[in-house]
Structure 1
């Protein structure tokens, strides 16, 4: 989808990605002189400020940080690929040119041990909300118990890191009140000292001041803030999992997201949102809904993960074997042991199988 290339459409260079770091590592070996670095840099985008003369690896870091928001990384890759390159160097540059957004990944953040099966609808929504120019900026996630509602936060986190954004996830296990949520939001930005004092304002007026100040902080940092808040609905006993005022706080942000000065900086994922109509004042082009169900994940999705993981590890496994493994995994997951839900059992079995096939876990 246009606007979702993790390098060429990113507002910041995606340093969290392994292919990004590999690209930076190879550049000083390819172009080391200050003059040559400067020429390539200025040839990649117009109107750039001069680089500070320095060691090659530091100059290249500054160059990449400036070229990303200027939209010059694609041109840089083309200039580099026009040279005579050895295969190892060319492959690292081609990896950047052909990179796919992390939201397409079938595993979570590196080293996290997370497998992400299916979630095609959620992936599509996240692709749409990422570009600043698109109106969609909020994803509401609903579904039954043990249906994987919370698991989608890993895709949200991956996409945030592709865009060089700060990302925060909060649930009822971490916070209980709106005051604690506000503290966590400002704390994620190292801005505890900028939390507005409640004073004599009404609740809604104070929440508006919170978002006004947060907008100023993220604008100053020049980094988007992606916020995922879980447990916004009810527990099994119909009691709220979080203070209902947390939803009132978030509602104030949703109301502001049609405004480009907010839309540029904030993305929001509302998980386990209560059933019923969404607030009538919310702009419908700002919000999309995903609904999860335990039965969503099938053997086809397991096949997709097994095939992708073995291919990325350079292992050859015949399709018939992969399909048989997937059928076995799903069959065992459909009758999980007591105390374990289907999707958790499915996730664990897929992780175990991936480790047995390639010798390491996701």
Structure 2
């Protein structure tokens, strides 16, 4: 049985195939489709089926027939010709009907494309290469780019950079709401990315190793004393490491949280800096850095699809729900936004199970309407 990621991949290849047949495929999409058709049997099968559907013999006969150039005018002319017969009229009506169905199908496809295909793409993990190409990451595939050969699985990516790759030339891996992903960098560093997280990284490191993260990620940095590793965060914050494991949370632009599992890292924020020890986490706010002990099991639980809330305001809980389930959450009653909630969330279970629990604890209610979760 096909899994959800495979079905999404087939849908995307089918969409690109429609564009290719009608001559409206964009350059970067065309390059991606050509690569998939060259290397992936599933893409080849999907392309073949699309061709069979829209290039049937009857449809082909219509488009090759001279009368197809002006179907309505040709029909009128044939009806007025003295020698016309029912068979020829029936044939041209058949061709016109086929053409009308094909044209109508493509019309409906283009009409709905902006509202269906592209929003669906926004829910997919994407890789934007340094040369500007945007590649959807779906299922297990081998992707050939200008600077690397990228291997993807349902939940992980690795790559082999080419010798011609420009060191430090940044690519962008984007993980949308509701998903998470893992990537192995050029030096062997492992990075787990949480929902709504963006990673900027090169296919080839230079003398120094530098990446940027917006969102939340857990890193196991490959040791290399001769090549320092730097993580850049929003708000002009940086993390400098040699070889270590740590979690970074930078969802909020005004604050970043770094939780050190082992090793040693130095956090910089403006003129302030702090050398962090294992078992401690640093919080960089407005112009200062503070540190305190943390519970590693709680902080890293997101990697197993769990989140522990410890007296967290409901408005902050709503942000987690939005990221993890890919839905819009609205707190309709501002008065309950500051209510503190303590409990746990399991992303592998229906959101209703969590909401029913929170409803009893906080004395709130909820309703889903038009794709929005309303809490009141």
TM-score (norm: length of structure 1) = 0.28
User: Greater relative contact order (Cα 8 A, min sep 6): structure 1 or 2?
Assistant: 1
Instruction: Name which one, 1 or 2, has greater alpha-carbon Rg.
Output: 2
More helix by share: 1
TM-score (norm: length of structure 2) = 0.28
More strand by share: 2
